[in-house]
């Protein structure tokens, strides 16, 4: 059964990746907004923002990476909605393939596309002056957190992709996720925020994830933030996966 599932997922993943390579503008579109935010905050607002860091681009990069992922997963919901609308899912159901492999192919495609977008954003940040003395283990830890965060958000994206009635509705859910880093430690320290906003910022998942990535890249002790970040990612992933599979079963029943 496992071999059957892996084989089917691999074939369907190849199909989805071919669609991505034929529409490179998708990756370009998902990177334009995060790069625009990075340029805006560094070169327009950067001089007026006190982050306590010598390099503001290095300070805000972790938050920009999360915005990149939140922007990219909207296309997962959109592509899934198109597959549902075109009747391709019904054709898949008539074939002897593992049912879950259809969703996993979309999720893994999202992971690959988002990793490419993240690399592009980091390259632009390097041109803008980002530098890190972090070693290979720290970079692997950052990669692991970003992969886990991408999987968690992608499984959230699967739900509107299955349940939306319009293409715009399928991708619109990502707007609050893109906005969430702005109410966190991504752009300014939370201590500069007024009381209620600060309380929310310090106890939402993005702040612990941003702090962990920032500390890893700047070779600072990560403290308990890394365990809070991993806890948030795993919890969101587990809940989103269960919700997505429940929505999928209802859709195909």
Helix (H, G, I), strand (E, B) or coil at 159: helix
Q: Which position has the higher pLDDT, 67 or 87? A: 67
SS (H, E, C) 120-154: HHHHHHHHCCCCCCCCHHHHHHHHHHHHHHHHHHH
- Greater confidence (102 vs 133) lies with 133
Q: What is the pLDDT of residue 54?
A: 64
User: Token pair 């965060």 is at which residue?
Assistant: 149
Q: What's the half-sphere exposure (Cβ side, CA atoms, 13 Å) at 216?
A: 24
Mean pLDDT across 70-88: 79
What does the block give as tokens for 24? Answer: 């490179």
- In this prediction, residue 250 carries a pLDDT of 82
204: which DSSP letter?
A: S
Summarised one tens digit per residue, pLDDT across range 86-114 is: 666 666 665 656 666 778 888 888 888 89
pTM: 0.88
Q: How confident is the model at residue 137 (pLDDT cuts 50, 70, 90)?
A: very high
pLDDT, one tens digit per residue, over 148-199 is 999 999 999 888 888 877 777 777 777 888 889 999 998 888 888 898 999 9
The arithmetic mean of pLDDT across residues 53-67, rounded, is 87
Percent of the chain with pLDDT over 70: 80
Q: Are 201 and 185 in contact (CB under 8 A)?
A: yes
Task: Reply yes or no on whether the pLDDT at 242 is more than 90.
Answer: yes
DSSP category for residue 53: -
pLDDT tens for each residue of 10-57: 766 777 777 666 666 666 777 888 899 899 888 887 666 655 556 888
Judged against a pLDDT cut of 80, whether residue 241 lies above it is answered with yes
Torsion over CA: 16, 22, 28, 29 (sign):
negative
């Amino acid at each position: 059964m496992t071999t059957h599932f892996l084989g089917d997922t691999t074939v369907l993943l190849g199909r989805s990746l071919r669609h991505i390579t034929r529409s490179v503008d998708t990756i370009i579109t998902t990177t334009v907004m995060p790069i625009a935010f990075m340029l805006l905050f560094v070169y327009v607002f950067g001089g007026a923002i006190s982050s306590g860091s010598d390099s503001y681009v290095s300070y805000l990069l972790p938050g920009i990476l999360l915005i990149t992922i939140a922007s990219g997963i909207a296309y997962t919901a959109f592509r899934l909605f198109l597959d549902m609308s075109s009747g391709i899912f019904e054709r898949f159901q008539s074939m002897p393939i593992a049912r879950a492999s259809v969703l996993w192919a979309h999720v893994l495609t999202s992971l690959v596309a988002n990793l490419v977008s993240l690399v592009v954003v980091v390259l632009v940040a390097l041109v803008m002056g980002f530098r890190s003395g972090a070693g290979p283990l720290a970079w692997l830890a950052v990669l692991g957190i970003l992969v886990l965060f991408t999987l968690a958000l992608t499984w959230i994206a699967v739900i509107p992709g299955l349940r939306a009635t319009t293409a715009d509705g399928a991708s619109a859910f990502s707007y609050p996720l893109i906005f969430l880093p702005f109410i966190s430690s991504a752009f300014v320290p939370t201590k500069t925020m007024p009381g209620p906003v600060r309380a929310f910022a310090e106890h939402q998942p993005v702040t612990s994830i941003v702090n962990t990535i920032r500390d890893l890249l700047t070779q600072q002790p990560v403290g308990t933030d890394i365990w809070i970040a991993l806890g948030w990612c795993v919890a969101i992933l587990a809940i989103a996966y269960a919700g997505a599979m429940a929505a999928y079963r209802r859709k195909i029943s």
